[in-house]
Chains A and B, each alone.
Chain A
Amino acid sequence: MSHYSVWSVLREGLRGQTGWDRAWRDPAPKSEYDVVIIGGGGHGLATAYYLAKNHGITNVAVVEKGWLGGGNTGRNTTIVRSNYVQPVSTQFYEHSVKLWENLSHDLNYNVMFSQRGQLGLFHTPAARDAQAKRVNTMLACGIEAELLNREQVMKMVPHLDYSENARFPILGAILQRRAGTARHDAVAWGFARAADKLGVDILQQTEVTGILREGGRAVGVETSRGTIRAKKVGVAVAGSTGHVMAMAGLERLPIESHKLQAFVSEPLKPLLDCVVSYGAPGSHFYISQSDKGGMVFGGDLDFYNSYAQRGNLPIVQDVAECAMAIMPCLGRVKLLRHWAGIMDMSMDGTHIMSKTPVDNLYMNAGWCYGGFKATPASGWHFADLIANDRPDDLTAAFSLDRFERGYTIDEKGMGPTPKLH
């Protein structure tokens, strides 16, 4: 297996790129594994990697219906941050940011995590107080954050709309300098390659058609390539959670599938050096610029249950309006592509990482808007949950039974209406 470095790139350049190995093997499924992870997205691959790395469990298969990283991992707007309000979420996402910071080295794969900072604009005095609380919470938890006034924001990004014509004035922003963006596909590929290197079998084009149960416990999966038995089964298929969990008899979950659109413009020379999010009343918008130069942005859900990975016009127009509201110079910039990902929207806006009523079956779902940034921490904690058959201190809060028990983690305070989270 080739180690990646500047030297290997130079060496292969000199010998015509003939020496590179496959990034991951294409193994035949074994008849039995210690752990089968359903879902070859970022979360499933990260789980497999940390099972091997942190827990020494290497007899693991990741079973993926299509091509790895083909779901939300490769469809999002690539933002990584930990500026949450609810304390457990802050802690969880901060752990993730810490893992992100060393992830390229850890995986020997450049996931291009760029800590270019995220500015969350606010537009009313009340919103300033709310953001101050966020800054205070983060600082109290040891996470660096700043509250900027209007002048400081102007200095940082001079070409936002500070004019009299703006419908909502920019009063200031919360800044998390350690936040930023990463290359989404590289995360899936990096985890896949690193997991493969530790012995994990990545089985692409392998569709799970059933979850085998014996006496109330999960003992394997039926797949399009035959039966695979497993001591434990982890499900990390955000977007299809209901579909897969139903195979284990869990028919009704606190999750709805919604679609979230994402947008990219034509490539441009550097125009925006940080992530900016916009929170004016009735608006939800975030934008950054990729290394290739495309402006990458997104906004609200399409607001109805959907499994179609394509968006609808009203949100396209709404997002364009938000883009113009924040950066009126984008008028002549052209949209290159828009698409949608299927989000597991949970009933409180927070993910579910939990044991299930079926023994040895574990679920990792309900990521709402947070899935991409959560990838390494999700893998880390889900691996821990599977390996030890009990949630660690942080993960306990994200249990499936929290809804019935009244311990919801409602980041936005919108209650049990998934589309509003």
Chain B
Amino acid sequence: MSGYRLDKGGLIDRSAPRSFTFDGTSYAGYEGDSLASALLANGVDVVGRGFKYHRPRGIMSAGVEEGGAILSVGSGRFREPNVKAPAQPLFDGLVARGQNAWPSVRRDIGRINDVMNRFLAAGFYYKTFFGVRGGTKDWMIFEKIIRKAAGMGAASREPDPDQYETAHASCDLLVVGSGPAGLAAAKAAAAAGRDVILAEQDFALGGSLLAQAGGIDKAVAAIEELRAAGVTLMPRTTAFGLYDGCVAGMIEQVSDDPGMHGVRQRTWIIRPREIVLATGAIEQPLAFGNNDRPGVMQASAVRTYLNRYAVAPGTRAVVATNNDSAYATAADLAAAGISVTVIDARPDGPDAPEGVKVIRDTVPVRTLGGYVLEGVEIGPLDGDGYATRRDTLACDLLAVSGGWAPVVHLTSHRGPKPVWNDTIHAFLAGPTTEPIRTCGAAAGIWDHDACIASGIAAATGAAGPEPQAGETPAMALYEIKTHGKKLKCFIDPQHDVTTDDVRLAEREGFVSIEHNKRYTTLGMATDQGKVGNILGIATMADASGRTIAETGTTTFRPPYSPISIGALAGRGTYRHFRPVRRTPLHAWNIAQGAVMTDAGLWKRPWYFPLPDESVDDAYIREMIAVRNTVGLCDVSSLGKIMVQGPDAGDFLNRVYVNGFAKLPVGKARYGVMLRDDGIVYDDGTVWRMSETDFLMTTTTANAAGVMAKLEEYLQTRWPEMKVQLTSVSDQWAGIAVAGPQCREVLQAVTSECDLSNEAFPFMGIREAKIAGADVWIARISFSGERAFEVYVRGGSSEAVMDALWDAAKPMGGVLYGTEALGALRIEKGHVAGSELDGRTSLRDLGLGGMASSKKAFIGKAMTEREGMTDPDRLQLVGVAPVDPSMRLRAGALLDTRTDLIDHGKGFITAVTDSPDLGHWIGLALVQGGLERWEGKEMTSYDPARDGNTAVRILSPHFFDPKGERMHG
């Protein structure tokens, strides 16, 4: 192929030259060029290699259906693999490389595969490579080699440096495609006063107009008209999928070179009232011998290169067709001064355009040449569809038209299967009840004026023109078969699928089109079958003696053309991947030197290290301080729900296993709630602030879930209950003040509140003022120490914390984090997330006594199931090492054996080093629980980390089992 730039014409700016490189060689093009048109203008012919046989590939199309010119663009971390050259606009400094070839696409040693091609038929890899040894070893050796050879472009391993974003829009009408039909639809809708978005995947608006001689001016005028009418024009925006509710996903290529602060691509989620699909049609190839040779191109693409880009893709052309459309290509080639011969498979056809020789009843049989096209053998077809070679035409460009396939992908995304139309030999969109209408070539309308009528009809909901066969109907022509030596007739030039592959698959029983696709990989390349699908189906139909309609088509899946993962992720990356939840005391904690940890989406203080202190040293120090003096801890992440109303007490009675209706005002109570299936769901405290006002706290993890569940109960199950729920989790901060001196700390900041044991007993609640702020104080304890929790509006929390810390610090108090919090509760035998694992019952956790026998509650009925009372259930125990110098590990299994052959009898859920006891302790769930194991030895089995440790099973209440400290 020896392409060159024409002297005049085209939608290019000759005053704006753009330089680029391909495989290290510098070239020049113009603003308005695609990478493919610039390569053609520079006479570059071989630009890629096929997937399997590594045969040379040239530019085959002028759009996203490209199967040959698939390149890598950009270098280093900017490298984007698998870019379709015709869809990539040229920009200054563009760096492109061929891929899937070594050392280059020109001289690729992978070509050896083509010599071996007789052995590499469809599905050959299912029949071999698994080796003779048992197991997977042999296959994995072959697999390594296969994987290296497979794949196409190489992705960078560095983070994508560019930014992406997501945007939303609504409109009355979304028009997809800016060809004649789309323009007409948008114009008609805008004239009717409707809000219209027109999206076009190409970087220039105008669709097929741009490929026509004189079409550019028409397109420019039409676009100006739409702009004036207020239509939102979105070039370079691909509608990649239609989803439920007629919501369209689109991706806009914002910039090829966005720099540090720009956006590369933007995902649009469009919610239109109605959709008009004017997505056009894609010209189909014909299957004949070596039809993959560089120099073979869609006839319509040739026209696009001539008229839109002012590039002649060759010097001596043959146009092979089965329909009328390619005559325009021939005429335009002749007008550009290129020698051209049309071979038409039909006996009749349009008159020969000026300067064009037409040979009728003739088809291409095979191409000739080396790396690139040098000629084509042609001949007539017999009645059975077999061709005979009769003549040879020398050429360096073979423009092929095998008819047109309407782009029905987007409708298919919604479910309707495409329907075969025998009049125009094409699949059309299936019927839909949704407000989606197809027009123009996408609806099988080929005539220009009919396309416009069809666009207007689609915009207004009127009936449009029907598909017509045309003056000389197209001939159903797919595979050009020959007698004698087999020729390689490609269907899918990217995946190197040939008609023989399809026929072989059919012979082997892969008769469903879905099987055939999967067995041959037909249509699974990056063009998603845009050019090969119909040929494949037709070949399959021919092989199995069925019609194309009977054979059917595979399902089109989104995206319509490949879209980058970065764009879909938008801004939801890195630190913004998930929301960060911070308590009102976050900054305060950080200022005090807290090391933070992730607790779900929350950031919570993990520990507050002294200089050079490790996490283990820090949490032990914090624990000791809480046990001996006092500690402060930010517990604001706990869920907090106001439960109010005349039935609030009864409601809580139904929700919790224990009673709440009779909880006195001014008191709090610990509560446990179950799921419907009787498994423990959540625990927390409930404070009764007045006859009708309760504050419920939940675990951090279940805060949202409990709220949703309570709302469900009230709105769906017990709508008669007069209860109002308000989440105040985000409004209130919580501070635990724990340790023997907690009273002194609080007293120092709340002089008016009597904190004595008599006036403010365990589980009491009081209103008070600290640092001028209204607070609620509850005497509750998670640590097992005498302790209070102070709840205050978030905005006042720093002032309150400052006051408390000013009081606590001189007493030798500490700030403590979640590590110490967890350790303190383990000493106390309080259950938390690692025991409330969604599989444990009240009884399992030693809380069976809490369940009220006087009332029914959620989950009660299910707790009596056989499996829920099985004595072999895992139940809560404490563990300690027999040798006090040994450490324990959460996640270790427990058993009496030292060498396990199964999953053992239980496992350790949580551990801590206990400064009070002087050794490690842990909580565990063990079959049969304390009743079966108390005082007995077991082995802690932890091959993942520490190996075996002898442990003793104890009561889980290690520390102050009678609760004297917290009650004191």
Q: A317-B166, A331-B565 are in contact. Are A113 and B155 (CB under 8 A)?
A: no
B570 at the interface (CB under 8 A from A): yes
Q: What is the interface size of chain B, counting residues whose CB is below 8 A from a CB of the partner?
A: 126
A303 at the interface (CB under 8 A from B): no
Binary contact readout A403-418 vs B (1 if CB under 8 angstroms, 0 otherwise): 0111110101111100
B253 at the interface (CB under 8 A from A): no
Contact across chains for A405 and B865 when beta carbons are under 8 A apart:
yes
Contact across chains for B157 and A271 when beta carbons are under 8 A apart:
yes
A137 at the interface (CB under 8 A from B): yes
Contact across chains for B677 and A269 when beta carbons are under 8 A apart:
no
Q: A270-B147, A324-B573, A415-B675 are in contact. Are A334 and B160 (CB under 8 A)?
A: no
Of residues 114 through 160 on chain A, the ones whose CB sits less than 8 Å from some CB of chain B are 114-116, 123-126, 128-137, 139-142, 145-147, 158-159
Contact across chains for B508 and A20 when beta carbons are under 8 A apart:
yes
Contact across chains for B151 and A269 when beta carbons are under 8 A apart:
yes
B79 at the interface (CB under 8 A from A): yes
Of residues 174 through 233 on chain A, the ones whose CB sits less than 8 Å from some CB of chain B are 180, 183, 185-186, 189-190, 204
B46 at the interface (CB under 8 A from A): no
Q: A23-B509, A124-B598, A324-B569 are in contact. Are A335 and B562 (CB under 8 A)?
A: yes
Main secondary structure of the interface of B (DSSP, over half): loop
Instruction: Name the distance in Å between A53's Cβ and chain B's nearest Cβ.
Output: 16
A105 at the interface (CB under 8 A from B): yes
Partner of A328, one of B247, B518, B574, B904: B574
Partner of A16, one of B82, B118, B143, B893: B118
A394 at the interface (CB under 8 A from B): no
Q: A110-B127, A281-B600 are in contact. Are A335 and B563 (CB under 8 A)?
A: yes
Contact across chains for A282 and B600 when beta carbons are under 8 A apart:
yes
Contact across chains for A291 and B578 when beta carbons are under 8 A apart:
no
Contacts of A131 in B (CB 8 A): 891
Contact across chains for B153 and A17 when beta carbons are under 8 A apart:
no
A266 at the interface (CB under 8 A from B): yes
Instruction: Name the distance in Å between B256's Cβ and chain A's nearest Cβ.
Output: 12
Q: What is the interface size of chain A, counting residues whose CB is below 8 A from a CB of the partner?
A: 123
A141 to B903, CA, bound (A): 6
Binary contact readout B440-458 vs A (1 if CB under 8 angstroms, 0 otherwise): 0000000000000000000
Instruction: Name the distance in Å between A91's Cβ and chain B's nearest Cβ.
Output: 8
Binary contact readout A292-331 vs B (1 if CB under 8 angstroms, 0 otherwise): 1100000000000000101011001100111111001111
Binary contact readout B507-545 vs A (1 if CB under 8 angstroms, 0 otherwise): 111111011001101000010100000000000000000
Q: A328-B159, A336-B526 are in contact. Are A412 and B838 (CB under 8 A)?
A: yes
Contact across chains for A410 and B156 when beta carbons are under 8 A apart:
no
Partner of A324, one of B243, B562, B577, B904: B577
Contact across chains for B510 and A110 when beta carbons are under 8 A apart:
no
Contacts of B512 in A (CB 8 A): 66-67, 70, 204
B312 at the interface (CB under 8 A from A): no
Contacts of A321 in B (CB 8 A): 569-570, 572-573, 577
A416 to B580, CA, bound (A): 29
Partner of A266, one of B160, B526, B838, B862: B526
Contact across chains for A291 and B150 when beta carbons are under 8 A apart:
yes
**Interface-facing stretch out of B133-141, B370-378, B691-699, B766-774:** B133-141
A410 to B890, CA, bound (A): 20
Q: A13-B121, A328-B573 are in contact. Are A292 and B598 (CB under 8 A)?
A: no
Of residues 30 through 50 on chain A, the ones whose CB sits less than 8 Å from some CB of chain B are none
Contact across chains for A140 and B81 when beta carbons are under 8 A apart:
no
Partner of A140, one of B121, B510, B511, B900: B900
A90 at the interface (CB under 8 A from B): yes
Contact across chains for B676 and A415 when beta carbons are under 8 A apart:
yes
B907 at the interface (CB under 8 A from A): yes
Contact across chains for A4 and B127 when beta carbons are under 8 A apart:
yes
Q: A324-B573, A325-B577, A414-B838 are in contact. Are A5 and B128 (CB under 8 A)?
A: yes
Of residues 229 through 268 on chain A, the ones whose CB sits less than 8 Å from some CB of chain B are 265-268
Contacts of B834 in A (CB 8 A): 126, 129
Contact across chains for A135 and B868 when beta carbons are under 8 A apart:
no
Instruction: Name the distance in Å between A41's Cβ and chain B's nearest Cβ.
Output: 13
A12 at the interface (CB under 8 A from B): yes
Contact across chains for A313 and B269 when beta carbons are under 8 A apart:
yes
**Closest residue on chain A to residue B153 by CB atoms:** A268
Binary contact readout A63-83 vs B (1 if CB under 8 angstroms, 0 otherwise): 000110110001000000000
Instruction: Name the distance in Å between B437's Cβ and chain A's nearest Cβ.
Output: 21
Contact across chains for B159 and A408 when beta carbons are under 8 A apart:
no
A141 to B901, CA, bound (A): 5
A185 to B510, CA, bound (A): 12
B942 at the interface (CB under 8 A from A): yes
B575 at the interface (CB under 8 A from A): yes
B759 at the interface (CB under 8 A from A): no
Contact across chains for B565 and A323 when beta carbons are under 8 A apart:
yes
B158 at the interface (CB under 8 A from A): yes
Q: A404-B865, A406-B862 are in contact. Are A67 and B514 (CB under 8 A)?
A: yes
**Interface-facing stretch out of A54-62, A164-172, A350-358, A383-391:** A164-172
B566 at the interface (CB under 8 A from A): yes
Contacts of A405 in B (CB 8 A): 865-867
A26 at the interface (CB under 8 A from B): yes
**Closest residue on chain A to residue B897 by CB atoms:** A140
Contact across chains for B509 and A136 when beta carbons are under 8 A apart:
no
A332 to B130, CA, bound (A): 34
B889 at the interface (CB under 8 A from A): yes
Q: A20-B504, A110-B127 are in contact. Are A283 and B578 (CB under 8 A)?
A: yes
Contact across chains for A316 and B126 when beta carbons are under 8 A apart:
no
Of residues 70 through 102 on chain B, the ones whose CB sits less than 8 Å from some CB of chain A are 74, 77-82
Contact across chains for B136 and A329 when beta carbons are under 8 A apart:
no
Contact across chains for A114 and B514 when beta carbons are under 8 A apart:
no
- What are some 16 contacts across the A-B interface (CB < 8 A)? A5-B127, A8-B128, A12-B121, A17-B504, A74-B514, A101-B134, A101-B135, A123-B598, A132-B891, A136-B943, A140-B943, A167-B577, A185-B518, A268-B81, A331-B573, A415-B681
Taking A139-B944, A323-B569, A324-B572 as given, write out 8 further A-B residue pairs in contact, using a Cβ cutoff of 8 Å, ordered by the A residue number: A4-B127, A16-B486, A87-B903, A104-B130, A114-B140, A139-B900, A323-B565, A338-B559
